[in-house]
């Protein structure tokens, strides 16, 4: 049930991120707003991410907007092409205020670990890969309101329920993202 909720949240977030990704705020001539222009620009910066998953000789890429949803406690990278891929990093306790290394796990409990999934929606089906306990670590670097992360060869496991026969095996995931608080 938890996976279904996470999946539904990822879908809704990817739709809203794609729909809202190109919105820009109008500048105000109000002197108070002018004094805060730098803060407004930082707050409205759009994060970007690119993640590649390799499984059974096939390569899948998600590249697009990257945002954080506090109600879902998730960082979401939504594909901006017709690939219909979504990468979700489930994280408890909000975004880090300082650089931090997390342990990758299957189910997140506490603020020291996170889980990652790569989901794709070919035709009218779904494929999903997730991290499992002991998959390694992921470090987020914080500089002001900017969070960056680069990772490579994170082991992931294909879903026995959703994935086609050739995609149920082990996979590796590599990529990077930049996110703004």
For 134, phi and psi rounded to 5 degrees?
80, 15
CA distance 96 to 94: 6
Which residues 6+ apart lie within 8 Å of 128 measured at CB? 7, 117, 118, 119, 120, 158, 159, 162, 163
Per the model's pLDDT, the better-predicted residue between 39 and 101 turns out to be 101
Q: Are the beta carbons of 145 and 177 closer than 8 angstroms? A: no
CA distance 54 to 4: 24
Helix (H) or strand (E) holding 102: strand 100-104
What is the pLDDT, as a whole number, of residue 142?
98
Instruction: Please give the distance of CA 146 from its chain centroid, rounded to a whole number.
Output: 15
Q: Are the beta carbons of 54 and 85 closer than 8 angstroms? A: no
For 151, phi and psi rounded to 5 degrees?
-145, 155
What is the pLDDT, as a whole number, of residue 97?
95
CA distance 167 to 122: 12
What is the pLDDT, as a whole number, of residue 23?
39
pLDDT, tens digit, 9 for 90 and up, residues 88-124: 999 988 999 999 999 999 999 888 999 999 999 988 8
């Amino acid at each position: 049930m938890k996976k279904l909720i996470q999946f539904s949240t990822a879908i809704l977030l990817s739709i809203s991120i794609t729909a809202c990704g190109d919105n820009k705020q109008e500048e105000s001539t109000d002197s108070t707003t002018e004094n805060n222009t730098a803060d407004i620009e930082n707050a409205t910066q759009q994060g970007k991410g690119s993640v590649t998953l390799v499984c059974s000789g096939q390569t899948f890429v998600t590249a697009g907007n990257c945002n954080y949803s506090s109600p879902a406690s998730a960082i979401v990278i939504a594909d901006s092409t017709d690939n219909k891929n979504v990468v979700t990093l489930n994280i408890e306790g909000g975004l880090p205020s300082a650089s931090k290394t997390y342990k990758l796990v299957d189910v997140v409990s506490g603020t020291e670990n996170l889980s990652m999934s790569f989901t794709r929606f070919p035709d009218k089906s779904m494929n999903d890969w997730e991290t499992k306990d002991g998959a390694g670590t992921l470090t987020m670097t914080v500089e002001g309101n900017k969070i960056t992360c680069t990772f490579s060869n994170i082991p992931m496991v294909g879903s026995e329920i959703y994935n086609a026969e050739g995609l149920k095996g082990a996979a590796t995931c590599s990529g990077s993202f930049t996110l703004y608080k």
